[in-house]
Amino acid sequence: MSTVDKPPDDTPDRSRPKDDAHAGSGMGRESLAEMSLIEHLTELRHRLFVSVAAILVGTIAAWFVSQQIYGVLLLPVTRALESNAATANEGGIAVLALTEAFIVYVKVAATAGLFLASPVVLTQMWLFIAPGLYRRERLYAVPVTFASVMCFLGGAAFGYSVLFPVMAEYFINMGASGNFRPMLSANALFGFLLRTLLGCAVIFEWPVVVFFLARMDILTAGTMVRGFRYAVLAIFVIAAVVTPSGDMATQTILAAPMLGLYGIGIVVAWVVQPRTK
């Protein structure tokens, strides 16, 4: 008994996903890489390890020149002391505990290490969130990382070269006018300087924050324009907190660039916010 070959079945295979027809033409929607919780934690651990290692290397390198760095950082204070006739011969910077000088130099080295490692740290942050982005969004990696580093370092430079000298001169003159002899604690003085530098560095990251909020469609340029008057009020409140001096001039010195950053944020939001079709 012979076997008759069955004709080929032309019925389409309904078990095949519909998107396969578009796979070759690139018409299907891009799928994101999926990671388990353990894989996320492993990736986070790796990024934290690289960031901490970079900060540690920068701290060790800065330790050998920590005294010189501290001297440069305190130039605005020493100049303010020398320019005031009442404090030129009597004022100075003192250590009030046996280990205070050592602690100050450790803090200086750690701070310098953080700033030296900031490009690596910000890059690791971006690499951690990059797998959750589409290919087109990952194209922003280089410009966003570069902008983050420049904003961070630019804010610190502004705090040191513009804001801190004004504040140092204001407070030293206030003490001299009250017949106080300024004997400034080295540790307390560096803590004040560090808060000023980091505060300005974080504030200057505002355009980068706006970039992510606009890409997630949480914040739009129109919303920022409509809320400008409230932003002005909030900016001057933040400036008053960051600059504890009571004069309006010092607060305006910080508020002016913050207003400029808000304007840059409006432009950034308008450029990167999703367009409705």
The most distant pair of C-alpha atoms in the chain lies apart, rounded to whole Å, by 122
Domain span at 65:
36-200
**22 pLDDT higher than 50:** no
Decide which of 155, 178, 200 is a domain's last residue: 200
132 contact partners, CB below 8 Å, separation of at least 6: 32, 33
Percent of the residues in the chain that have a pLDDT greater than 90, as a whole number? 36
Question: Which two three-digit tokens encode residue 5?
Answer: 């070959």
Q: What is the mean pLDDT of residues 177-182?
A: 75
Decide which of 200, 225, 253 is a domain's last residue: 200
Question: Using an 8 Å Cβ cutoff, are 60 and 71 in contact?
Answer: no
210 versus 126: the higher-pLDDT residue is 210
Together in a domain, 189 and 85: yes
Question: Using an 8 Å Cβ cutoff, are 204 and 162 in contact?
Answer: no
Decide which of 200, 228, 257 is a domain's last residue: 200
Together in a domain, 52 and 177: yes
Together in a domain, 79 and 187: yes
Question: Using an 8 Å Cβ cutoff, are 141 and 130 in contact?
Answer: yes
Quote the crossing angle between the two packed helices 186-203 and 248-272, to the nearest 10°. 30
Together in a domain, 257 and 226: yes
94: enclosing H helix or E strand: strand 92-94
Total domains in the chain come to 2
Question: Using an 8 Å Cβ cutoff, are 122 and 152 in contact?
Answer: yes
pLDDT-derived band at 26 (thresholds 50, 70, 90) equals: very low
275 versus 95: the higher-pLDDT residue is 95
